């Protein structure tokens, strides 16, 4: 079967033949129906420090945002059966450490990431994953929507952590798929104003087309700090959610935030950022980071939100491609000329 990933060190992406894996006793074999490309996959394409440090070997199949059908179960699997519709939670917790035992498995001390730390991933026809991280999805939810539960779950975790209250002005830095999802969730959480900030023309146009944000700021031509202050009578935002990981945006978040406001950092910083603690002391800012999704509280809430039709996960999808088009897909994302790209294996 065809797979997309890495056959060797260095930049680039490979399309290669990969043997269909056999599930272990506590694993399930899943026929992948839809799988999205994430920023993490781009680390491997560019072969940066993150990829060099984490790569488990070759051949390596990439991909960790996906949905599919269980086609085989290991002998000890009890909660899933052949024919079940599932989506993959990429965090593989150990189940025994302090954090796993206090209900925070998503930040497990021995955490491994499916599709990152494993040789198998979802950019192929059949993949294996532990039963414990295969989330059963109701039959009435489409595969393409279920493949987006993972990034949407990150957005939901962030918005829950931000504790948006009705009337809040919410500024979202970054209009990638997760930033766009955060805009939707801020809207239904009662924000009086949702402001999106982005530098990519393509992503600004996508955000404008989706039309959730009240204001979009092109940070390549406009100073977002001045603009947010102008929109808030000089006070700043009640909630800032940083979803770009850009060093400039992270620094800006402290200036955009009003006194006594909340900043949630979602985007992984592209490099070390120096910030002045006196800014968040004097402003009494509450700054938090979020990592992945709550397991599995976030998942159950995502399922119910999708069923309520209060959110639209598909609107960030700009391309559906075959595995053979992987090269083109990664080039589009590198140029910032795509929202979410789904592979349909």
Length of the chain: 345
Q: Mask: binding to Zn ion, 149-178, rule CB under 5 A, as x and -? A: ------------------------------
Question: Which residues have C-beta within 8 Å of that of residue 327, sequence separation ≥ 6?
Answer: 13, 15
Residue 100 vs 141, nearer CB to Zn ion: 100
| Residue 103 near Zn ion by CB under 5 A | no
* Cα separation, 87 vs 143, whole angstroms: 8
Nearest distance from C-beta of residue 117 to Zn ion, angstroms = 14
| Residue 108 near Zn ion by CB under 5 A | yes
| Footprint (CB under 5 A) of Zn ion, residues 189-218 | none
Nearest distance from C-beta of residue 134 to Zn ion, angstroms = 18
Residue 93 vs 176, nearer CB to Zn ion: 93
222 catalytic per annotation? no
Q: How many CB atoms lie within 10 A of CB 296?
A: 17
Asked whether the beta carbons of 154 and 293 are under 8 A apart, the reply is yes
Q: Is 167 exposed, middle or buried (0-12, 13-18, 19+ CB in 10 A)?
A: exposed
Nearest distance from C-beta of residue 97 to Zn ion, angstroms = 3
Question: Which segment (66-74, 108-116, 224-232, 237-245) binds Zn ion by CB under 5 A?
Answer: 108-116
Nearest distance from C-beta of residue 289 to Zn ion, angstroms = 19
List the one residue from 38, 62, 86, 100 that touches Zn ion (CB under 5 A): 100
Nearest distance from C-beta of residue 294 to Zn ion, angstroms = 14
| Footprint (CB under 5 A) of Zn ion, residues 222-281 | none
| Residue 107 near Zn ion by CB under 5 A | no
270-274 contacts, C-beta under 8 A, 24 or more apart:
270/245, 270/246, 271/247, 273/247
Residue 118 vs 246, nearer CB to Zn ion: 118
Q: Mask: binding to Zn ion, 41-70, rule CB under 5 A, as x and -? A: ------------------------------
Number of residues binding to Zn ion, judged by CB under 5 A: 5
Residue 104 vs 319, nearer CB to Zn ion: 104
| Footprint (CB under 5 A) of Zn ion, residues 68-97 | 93-94, 97
- The encoded tokens of residue 69 equal 């059908």
Residue 93 vs 224, nearer CB to Zn ion: 93
List 26, 35, 40, 318, catalytic entry = 40
124 catalytic per annotation? no
Residue 97 vs 287, nearer CB to Zn ion: 97
List 26, 35, 43, 232, catalytic entry = 43
Nearest distance from C-beta of residue 98 to Zn ion, angstroms = 8
Nearest distance from C-beta of residue 130 to Zn ion, angstroms = 13
Question: Which segment (26-34, 107-115, 217-225, 278-286) binds Zn ion by CB under 5 A?
Answer: 107-115
- List residues binding Zn ion (CB under 5 A): 93-94, 97, 100, 108
| Residues marked as catalytic | 40, 43
């Amino acid at each position: 079967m065809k797979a997309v990933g890495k056959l060797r060190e260095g930049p680039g992406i490979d399309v290669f033949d990969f043997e269909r894996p056999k599930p272990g006793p506590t694993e399930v074999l899943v026929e992948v129906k839809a799988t999205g490309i994430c920023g993490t996959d781009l680390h491997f394409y560019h072969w940066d420090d993150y990829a060099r440090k984490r790569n488990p070997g070759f051949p390596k199949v990439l991909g960790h945002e996906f949905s599919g059908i269980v086609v085989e179960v290991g002998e000890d699997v009890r909660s899933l059966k052949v024919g079940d519709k599932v989506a993959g939670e990429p965090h593989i917790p150990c189940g025994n450490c302090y954090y796993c035992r206090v209900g925070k498995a998503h930040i497990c001390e021995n955490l491994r990431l499916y599709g990152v730390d494993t040789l198998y991933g979802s950019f192929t026809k059949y993949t294996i994953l532990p039963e414990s991280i295969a989330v059963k999805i109701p039959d009435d939810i489409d595969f393409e929507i279920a493949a987006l539960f993972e990034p949407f779950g990150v957005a939901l975790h962030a918005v829950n952590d931000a504790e948006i209250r009705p009337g809040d002005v919410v500024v979202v830095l970054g209009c990638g798929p997760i930033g766009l999802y955060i805009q939707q969730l801020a809207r239904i959480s009662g924000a009086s104003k949702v402001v999106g900030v982005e530098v990519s023309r393509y992503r600004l146009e996508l955000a404008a087309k989706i039309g959730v944000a009240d204001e979009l700021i092109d940070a390549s031509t406009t100073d977002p700090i001045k603009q947010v202050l102008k929109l808030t009578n000089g006070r700043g935002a009640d909630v800032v959610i940083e979803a770009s990981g850009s060093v400039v945006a992270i620094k800006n978040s402290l200036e955009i935030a009003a006194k006594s406001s909340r900043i949630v950092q979602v985007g992984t910083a592209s490099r070390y950022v120096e910030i002045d603690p006196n800014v968040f002391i004097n402003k009494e800012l509450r700054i938090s980071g979020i990592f992945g999704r709550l397991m599995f509280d976030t998942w159950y809430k995502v399922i119910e939100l999708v069923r309520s039709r209060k959110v639209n996960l598909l609107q960030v999808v700009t391309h559906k491609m075959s595995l053979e088009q992987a090269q083109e897909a990664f080039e589009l994302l590198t140029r910032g000329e795509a929202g979410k790209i789904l592979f349909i294996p």
